[in-house]
Amino acid sequence: MAKKKIKKQRKKGKNWRKFWKLGIDEFNTQFFNINKDGNLIVTEGHHVYNLNSLANKYGTPLQVIFPFIIEDRLKDLMGYFQAYMKIYGYKGKFFYHYPMKVNQNKEFILPLLSEGANLEVTSSNELSIVKKVWESDKFNAKIRVFCNGPKTNQYLDLIEELREKDMNIIPIIESSEEMERIIKYKGDVGVRVDLNIKADTHWDKKFDRFGLPEKEILDLSKIKNLKIMHYHLGSQIKTQKSILEGVKHAFTIYEQLQKTHPNLDTIDIGGGFGVPYEKKKFYTAKSVSSKIIKILKNLSDKAGIKHPNLAIEWGQYIVAPAEVTIYKVISKKYIDKANAKAWYIVDGSFINDLKDTWAIHQKWHVIPANNMDCALKRVWLAGSSCDSDDKYTAGGNYLLLPKLSENENQFVAILDTGAYQDGLSSHHCLLSAPMKILAQDGMIQIVRKRESSESIAKLFGWNGDQK
């Protein structure tokens, strides 16, 4: 006899949209909502994407990319800086450079280029991708590329090759060992300074291996084509104060360096702008951009020098909210004497698919993709690999997710997964990476098929019959 379908206990009258922190600009959830059936939806203009339906149709684990979110965030960010430059009478120019290390997928890069982003690369392999796009005439010939990171001979050779082809490509001096070759470069160059300050970030700045110390920067022999002074405070900067203190301190170095290098005209403040993963009160790009421009104008005017051009590399801020990762709960195990009452085991792997969960104990915005208006249970999540670290416990607290129904799939959506996770992903226990789909203009496109056991085995040298 077939089992009778159990109806979910729906809780009426509760503001579930507010409870799950959806539709809030400051939390990057302005395009997310809950429909009348209790499903998580994403709205692009008049197009609506039902994440429960997508998970049922395409299976899980599943990653959904929303290019329109990338485009919207970049347009807003560029608009903030350009507007405040006009309001405050700032005479310098603004440049956005997307750091490719954050997410190198084509589905992220091309929308950024279409909205006017420049690029920043950190390896010869990333620059090789830029070369391919360049040679296919996929973007404006005036685009500018910053080259950061340690420079191998292969990396420097490619930089010089592309410069000879008239690409606006600028190597940033990372260490004294790079100096001899880069100062002979026939084009603009930059230099990275290791600021002698500590910011409130994930990154330990006690021992920084990047850039030249402040004293070495100020003792540099004259480099005629030095145009850019670059610094980077770290990743996921936690406070607005840290960002602004970095700008103030960097300007003091810039002002002194410009006295010996009069062609210097740009400060690149790097990346690190934080994302409110935990959906708590956080600083905003609109507020910070206003303060940065005001600070640089006041300091420049006081010093009697031209307003410097400003470059930023806020990559995580732009792309993190543009991807959602969805898992299905495949089983549960009860827990005695803990904040959570049960483990929900999902069909993917945190240690593989969302590496920051394990690497830096990242807290995520975790919500159900269906049954969002039903009775909830205090749970922890566990991945499908055979590893004790493959879990998500919200820092030892607990998650609220719907009670499971025997006859209905329960999907879990993890927001803000568009930054870094693909580049860091692995195949621990030879688990498959999630299928990846693109949601754009009301259409769905598969951009990465689900991996088979054979395709994964080939990655580890098992290419067929083995003797």
On whether the CB atoms of residues 288 and 245 are closer than 8 A, the answer is no
What is the residue whose two structure tokens read 């000879």? 164
Q: Which ranges of 138-223 would DSSP assign to H, the alpha helix?
A: 153-164, 176-182, 214-218
| Ramachandran area for residue 38 (φ above 0: left; ψ -120 to 50: alpha; else beta) | left
| Residue in 405, 411, 321 with CA at minimum distance from that of residue 372 | 411
CB 28 within 8 A of CB 278: no
Gyration radius of the chain over CA positions: 24
Residue 113 to residues 100, 171, 202, 285, 312, Cα–Cα distance (Å): 12, 20, 29, 20, 15
Per-residue pLDDT of the chain (467 residues; tens, 9 = 90+): 344 444 566 777 789 999 999 999 999 999 999 999 999 999 999 999 999 999 999 999 999 999 999 999 999 999 999 999 999 999 999 999 999 999 999 999 999 999 999 999 999 999 999 999 988 877 777 899 999 999 999 999 999 999 999 999 999 999 888 988 998 899 999 999 999 988 888 766 666 678 899 999 999 999 999 999 999 998 999 999 999 999 999 999 999 999 999 999 999 999 999 999 988 889 999 999 999 999 999 999 999 999 999 999 999 999 999 999 999 999 999 999 899 999 999 999 999 999 999 999 999 999 999 999 999 999 999 999 999 999 999 988 999 999 999 889 999 999 999 999 999 999 999 999 999 999 999 999 999 999 999 999 999 999 866 55
Residue 329 sits at φ, ψ, to 5 deg, of -75, 125
Least Cα distance to 349 among 327, 365, 330 occurs for 327
Residues 21, 30 contacting (CB under 8 angstroms): no
pTM, two decimals, is 0.94
Alpha helices in 63-199 (DSSP H): 67-87, 106-114, 124-135, 153-164, 176-182
Distance CA 14, CA 12 (A): 6
